[in-house]
């Protein structure tokens, strides 16, 4: 990832290009912290040239935004498009993060009064319009769910570490017909599932295997991933958090939204974005299903 810093008066503009993931997010954090420690409290993050973001990148942006809010600072995020925009939408953060179409608009906003509400990509403040209903789909546990049917699927076992996850995800997605690839969004979502298996399931132990089953056609993407860990034990707690997140974001009560931007546990580290499952529930629209042990997850998307 490339990072460029510009100054316009009291405003620091940080332009990002390339891919923002668990390996490059620290570079962004260092750049932001350097300006913050100098006393800067007005920032613009321009993501126009950013082509990829993962849950760690999202988590890093959330952390900087919340830090600024606590110090009465200002931030606008500009130029969001493509897969980055889709990931932000899937995590519902387009209702939380202060998005504007371009740097010029953000600079003009910085010249006026501070904005208390998040703004939409159109630049209009988001208010409680009372529309829509909460999607309570969440995640499930069911050993016998149809999504665990493996007949006809490609199957591979890997001794996988985090450094190989992106490469493996790119290989898997090459099996998908171009019509369903949605640029690199499918690869990004597959990568998140594999990272969870390696990091949370196998505890980054490269001697433990990750088993993968997958199949694609022009209308569907279906994936099953199994690790050798103890399993995800917090399904009910996560679903409760997810329901509260949905309610908070629909109300557009910013202080309430702050409580639910990321799901964290005692085992979460600085590199855990805390948003991967939120995006998964939205992207895999036919279900995110764990087995009863919690060490295998089946997902499917219909286009």
Residues 185 and 290 in one domain: yes
Same domain, 23 and 95: yes
Cα torsion 28, 31, 37, 43: sign = negative
168 by Cβ neighbours in 10 Å (0-12 / 13-18 / 19+) ranks as middle
Q: Is residue 255 in a domain?
A: no
Mean pLDDT by 10 residues, the chain (303 residues): 95 97 94 96 97 94 91 96 94 91 94 45 36 61 97 95 93 90 86 95 95 96 97 94 91 86 80 84 96 98 94
Q: Which are the contacts of 179, defined by CB distance < 8 A and separation ≥ 6?
A: 218, 303
Pair 216, 190: CB distance under 8 Å: no
CATH number at residue 284: 3.30.565.10
| 99 lies in the same domain as 151 | no
Residue 292 shares a structural domain with residue 145: yes
Residue 116 in any domain: the answer is no
By residue range, what is the domain housing residue 283? 140-233+264-302
- State whether 152 and 284 are in the same domain: yes
We report the CATH number of the domain holding residue 43 as: 3.30.750.24
Residue written as token pair 């299903």: 289
DSSP per-residue codes, 97-131: S-EES-HHHHHHHHTSPPP-S-B-TTSPBP-----
Length of the chain: 303
Q: Is residue 22 part of a domain?
A: yes
What whole-number distance in Å separates Cα of residue 75 and Cα of residue 69?
Answer: 8
Q: Would you state the pLDDT for residue 119?
A: 43
Cα→Cα distances 268→26, 59, 93, 274, 298, Å: 16, 12, 20, 8, 23
Q: For the beta carbon of residue 268, count every other beta carbon within 10 angstroms.
A: 14
Q: Are 241 and 260 in contact (CB under 8 A)?
A: yes
Helix and strand numbers, DSSP H then E, in the chain: 9, 11
| Domain closes at, from 110, 131, 162 | 110
Query: What is the model's pTM?
Result: 0.85
Taking CA 145 as the corner, what is the angle to CA 139 and CA 146, rounded to the nearest 5 degrees?
120
Instruction: Verify that 180 and 79 share a domain, yes or no.
Output: no
Clarify whether residues 196 and 297 are in a common domain: yes
Domain count, the chain: 2
97 and 33 housed in the same domain: yes
Q: Are residues 149 and 29 in the same domain?
A: no
Report the C-alpha gap between 218 and 220 in whole angstroms.
6
185 and 99, same domain (yes or no): no
Residue 258 lies in a domain: no
User: Is there a domain that residue 124 lies in?
Assistant: no
Using the 8-state DSSP alphabet, how is residue 197 labeled?
Answer: I
pLDDT at 183: 58
Whether residues 185 and 226 fall in one domain: yes
Residue 253 lies in a domain: no
Confidence at residue 188, expressed as pLDDT on a 0 to 100 scale: 95
Domain assignment present for 16: yes
Helix axes 185-196, 82-90, angle to 10 degrees: 50
End-to-end CA distance of the chain: 31
33-63 CB burial, b ≥16 within 10 A, e <16: eebbeeebebbbbbbbebbbbbbbbbbbbbb
SS3 235: helix
Q: Are residues 28 and 82 in the same domain?
A: yes
Assess if residue 123 is contained within a domain.
no
Residues 53, 102, 278, 117: is their CA dihedral positive or negative?
positive
């Amino acid at each position: 990832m490339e990072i460029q810093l510009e100054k316009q008066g009291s405003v620091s503009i940080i332009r990002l290009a390339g891919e923002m993931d668990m390996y490059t997010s620290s570079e962004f954090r260092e750049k932001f912290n350097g300006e913050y420690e100098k006393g800067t409290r007005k920032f613009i993050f321009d993501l126009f040239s950013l082509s990829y973001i993962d849950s760690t990148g999202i988590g890093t942006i959330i952390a900087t935004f919340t830090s600024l809010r606590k110090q009465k600072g200002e931030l606008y995020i500009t130029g969001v498009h493509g897969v980055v925009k889709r990931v932000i939408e899937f995590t519902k953060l387009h209702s939380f993060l202060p998005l504007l179409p371009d740097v010029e608009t953000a600079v003009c906003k910085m010249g006026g009064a501070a904005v208390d509400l998040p703004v939409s990509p159109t630049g209009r403040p988001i208010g409680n319009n009372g529309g829509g209903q909460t999607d309570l789909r969440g995640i499930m546990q069911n050993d016998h769910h149809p999504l665990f049917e493996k007949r006809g699927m490609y199957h591979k076992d890997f001794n996988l570490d985090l450094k190989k996850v992106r490469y493996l995800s790119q290989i898997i997605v090459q099996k998908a017909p171009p019509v369903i690839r949605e640029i690199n969004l499918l690869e990004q979502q597959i990568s998140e599932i594999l990272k969870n298996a390696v990091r949370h399931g196998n505890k980054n132990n490269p001697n433990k295997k990750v088993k993968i089953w997958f199949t694609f056609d022009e209308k569907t993407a279906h994936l099953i991933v199994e690790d050798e860990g103890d399993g995800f034990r917090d399904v009910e707690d996560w679903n409760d958090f997810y329901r509260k997140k949905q309610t908070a974001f629909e109300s557009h009560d910013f202080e309430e939204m702050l409580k639910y931007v990321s799901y964290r546990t005692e085992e979460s580290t600085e590199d855990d974005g805390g948003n991967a499952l939120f995006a998964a529930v939205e992207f895999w629209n036919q279900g995110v299903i764990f087995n009863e042990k919690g060490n295998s997850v089946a997902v499917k998307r219909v286009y």
